[in-house]
Structure 1
């Protein structure tokens, strides 16, 4: 068993056996191996304190947060425009019945260069009306697209309504067919 597996097993045991109102303390030598821990422990993240700092009863900037993020591929089903170009991408996934359902929108992570790449990749895909089985009402600045392009998005979680929360655009995925994009088992809708 690798050292990393041992650390994960030990911390999972500590996490499960700790009273719900207590925290689990980990020495800094173990934190080098702990970037995967929020996912392994099925929590939203880990809070830590800088080495050598004192414990005080106030916020002093010595605490750090390691948040857990999910990543998944989504079909680009549309976009919204702004005066500067692309404002956000509209995302979809195939449900268990093969229908394309709305999964939210992403605007964070779309910088100037990403917007240029997206514009070049999506320029030939506009269509009349949405390909979604139940499209949202989003206003006049929506351009619906043929559901052929896939992108990767990092996000915190799915909302109860099945939309991505705190999404960040990572990039296009030309290696994945849009028809095969559905939710993975570890990020299924609630």
Structure 2
């Protein structure tokens, strides 16, 4: 049996270092093959599974593909309905609640070594596209047609689901989930 001791001697594991320092240290430690595996796995659906673990760095598998609207958290009104409220704080609170619930579920999945599709902390949300045509079949996933409002609500969602309060800076963030604004460049009509 191999026992891993997580050491803060590896700077990427030491939370007292800056994020930039930690990321640079991690990238310097990964091989080209490991980097490729980390960015090409873990999100292509259940047939492809999570990214492989990296035992020498004590890095667990990782699942990219998770959608917060697919039953992983409390069901809230659709983004288009939230946009109709013009309430940035409400969107932030919805996202924060979603982030807390999904992080709690992920903690359980991780303890069970369950990394299948839909069990990650990297979420495909929000849809940052604008509603440009009333007949587009995915309008309900957007924050509407107004670029300013959609931008404000998208930012509020990203901060909320990530664990940011309205006033926190980087050192105070709880880091609940990682948000991936869905299909921003190629999803529109």
Q: Which has the higher helix share?
A: 2
Task: Select the structure of larger CA radius of gyration.
Answer: 1
Tell me if both proteins adopt one fold, taking TM over 0.5 as the criterion.
Answer: no
Greater fraction of residues in strand: 1
TM-score (norm 1): 0.23
